[in-house]
A and B are shown apart, each in its own frame.
Chain A
Amino acid sequence: MSKGVLVDLTKCFGCGACTVACKLWNEKKYDDVNKPTMGENAHLVDINWTVVSKHNVTDAAGKPAWRFIKEQCLHCVDPACASSCLVKALRRTPEGPVVYHPDLCVGCRYCMVACPFNIPKYEWEQSFPKVSKCQMCSTRIDNGEMPACVSVCPNQVMTFGERDDLLKEAHRHISANKQQYIDYVFGEKEVGGTAWMYISDQPFDKIGFKTTVPKESLPAFTWQILNKLPMILVGWTAILSGIYFFNKRRNAISESKQDSKGGPQA
């Protein structure tokens, strides 16, 4: 069973406690001027593993309203970053977090290209940079604790639990409050499902979500080719070896024929 977090975006009032918890727990620096963690200009960067971005929307009554979006790695059930990693520096643990191991990383940044949500960031300002992204507090989860951001939320915007249970709860909550919520759980099917899932009263594409990603797992696409690789390898070896032995034998036969005729002609 893998863990997940369900985020109810209607409950967030933008205090940003989650972003502070992340900085405290992961000892990340602040740079409010260039890399804010909250507001319209908040973006995930090397030192911001999670941000609360502000979006101007129109609410159900047609009035202008604000929505705050808690952003971080979505922790795919079948992560493309991990499948693209040459050295297994990115691995998904059985509990759900997709964890980065800096000691293994060779810095190729394939993960950054592979991620459909543009999550992994690079420490461009460091002399020996590493990739940087939310770890879903994997060490806290190992201790049975909630991720730091989830535990500090004053409004219980986020619920931590078994992913399957949360999904059921999300659908139950939406159907019980049909007039309020969009009937969609973002993260249920996106790229084969993610550990972090969102419900909202606003269309997801209006509040900065990447809704164009495929519904199938991305490593599954490459697997369609890669799973044939052993067969191709063995097959090619067999074919090439066959050709080699065939040619060798043909040459040997033609040489022995000439020998029987009494040596080469001058």
Chain B
Amino acid sequence: MNKSSKNDPPVSRRFFLKGVGTAGMACALATLSGCKDAGKPSGGEGWTPTQYNVPGTWPVQVRGRVPIDPNNPSIVRDDRKCILCGQCAEACERIQTVEGYYALPIKDDITCVNCGQCALWCPTGSISERDDIDKVQRVLADTNLHVIVQTAPATRIAIGEEFGMPAGSIVEGKMVAALKKLGFDRVFDTNFSADLTIMEEGTELVRRINNSGGEHHQKEGGHGHTPTALPQFTSCSPGWVKFCEYFYPDLLEHMSTCKSPQQMLGSVAKTYYAEKKGIDPRTIVSVAIMPCTAKKFEAARGEMNSAGAAAGQPELRDVDFVLTTRELGRMIKKNGIDLTTLQPEKYDSLMGESTGAGVIFAASGGVMEAAIRSGYYLLTHQNPPETLLELNAVRGLQGVKEAALEVPGVGELRVAVSHGLANARTLLDQIREDKQNGRPPRYHFIEFMACPGGCISGGGQPRTSVPPSDWVRQARIKSIYTIDAQIYKKRLSHENQEVQALYADFLGEPNGERAHQLLHTTYTDRSGQLTVKTKA
């Protein structure tokens, strides 16, 4: 048996197998002992905001967020940025009284007035305007198209903030220069159509007052399409209009039938301007720069195709694209233009003349003030006294403002102004109650603006402070009234020569047949889209 030699392996077969067996057993044991500890369950490595991390089922005051329809034309949300802080819901419910004012379950609509205040409040920018920059860049690149643009009153005192300038910087000329650099063929001013709005809305108000016949304000007017209900409501703020359509459809007869300045300029551009310049309206692309997200919704409303309908092409939109002030800021930056260094330029003629009455549309109370200036003229055929040009009672940030003024030959004209839709409810509930009890109207004319402070703090304005705060609003309002009092030469809408030329050459008279066709609109009762609830 002694066969051992130099070739024998140093490890015997027995020893090797024993070793492998032992190691196997040890590993199996180790694995099994590992199973005793199940390890960490998956998930739970992240965080939620502090208000949600409390033991028990305590109520949380500010929670969740607003619902946003993915097809909302005005606002979109990027879930990746949402931190569930609850600010959007706070703004929607407490400032605008929309969320929480309809009963659940919902119908087939996510109730939204498109005001975009949630986008101003959102601390992470999760909610923003629907970005239409690419669409506008595409039409600008097409040389066959004639691209015109209009800029709202409130954009000229805010867009500078996007370029690091102090809140309320007046950059009207620089903005016009930037728009021309971007390649827009004509730059028009929404101030022009604000003056036009005053002519129409003022005339409508005078007719309502004349036709109301004292207490019988409900009776049908003599003029075919002139409503008679008093007070008359302004209709410039599309967020407010949709709010009224949702929650107060019974008061829609009070809504001025006038389109907003944006839509007036849109329909005039594709008729009057096209005719004057000999341009096929089909090749005109109408862009609007607005402080507002609801304007995107307004431009897309089915009935906003007057110019096309008049030309037998109902698919033609009066306004094709709406960009917010923030989008214009981004667009200018994307094109490598430094707004701050541009030489100021002027608006183009035909629809570029402004008055102070047009520019103050941007501030809460401004439409009222402008309307009073020209309404006074329409009623008395003479210009208002100096005192009426600084109507401080309707200026400022108080939620509901009232004024009463004596108009010779007419008597007392009582007006009210509200901004922020929660304040609108105060007035609307009062009017509803008065009507139900057969009381005469307290006011002749009421200005409603959806956003607190008016358009200067609209949902599409630069996010200079988040959430939006009054110091920014005050700075912008101050600039607006500075433009009115010190920069523009005229302060009365009816003195706008281009507006007068438009009437003389094309429209005829205010509230006339053609004006009605192009500048007036109808409203939709939206109360069927939700179950209205009075208290949140």
A-side interface residues toward B, CB under 8 Å? 9-17, 19-21, 23-27, 30, 32, 37-39, 49, 56, 59, 63-67, 87-89, 91, 99-104, 130, 132, 135, 137-140, 143-146, 148, 151-155, 159-161, 201
Contacts and interface: CB of A to CB of B under 8 A. Distances in A.
A66 B65 contact: no
B52 A148 contact: yes
A17 B86 CA distance: 10
Given A15-B65, A15-B67, A24 B84 contact: yes
Interface stretch (B54-62, B361-369, B430-438, B505-513): B54-62
Interface residues of B, number: 40
Interface stretch (B3-11, B102-110, B514-522): B102-110
Given A88-B35, A130-B42, A148-B48, A11 B54 contact: no
Contacts of B48: 21, 24-25, 148, 151-152
B47 interface: yes
Nearest to B54: A145
A10 B108 CA distance: 13
Contacts, number: 149
Nearest to B41: A99
Contacts of B80: 30
Given A25-B47, A26-B43, A16 B79 contact: yes
B52 A13 contact: no
B64 interface: yes
B84 A139 contact: no
Contacts of A201: 105
Given A15-B65, A24-B48, A24-B84, A132 B106 contact: no
B57 A65 contact: no
Q: Secondary structure of the B side of the interface?
A: loop
Interface of B: 35, 38-48, 52-57, 60, 63-68, 70, 79-80, 82-84, 86, 89, 99, 104-108, 110
A30 B46 CA distance: 14
Given A25-B44, A139-B41, A143-B55, A154 B64 contact: yes
A21 B84 contact: yes
A27 B45 contact: yes
Given A24-B46, A24-B83, A27-B46, A15 B64 contact: yes
A222 B28 CA distance: 29
Nearest to A137: B44
A152 B64 contact: yes
A192 B83 CA distance: 37
Given A65-B105, A65-B107, A100 B56 contact: no
A102 B44 CA distance: 13
Leading 4 A-B pairs by shortest Cβ distance: A154-B64, A103-B39, A144-B55, A26-B43
A145 B41 contact: no
26 contacts: A13-B106, A15-B64, A16-B67, A17-B64, A20-B82, A26-B46, A27-B46, A30-B79, A32-B79, A37-B79, A49-B43, A59-B107, A65-B105, A66-B106, A66-B108, A67-B105, A100-B42, A101-B38, A137-B44, A138-B41, A139-B44, A144-B56, A148-B48, A152-B63, A152-B64, A154-B64
A37 B47 CA distance: 19
Contacts of A39: 70
- Counting chain A CB atoms within 10 Å of each CB, the highest count among B44, B99, B107 belongs to B44
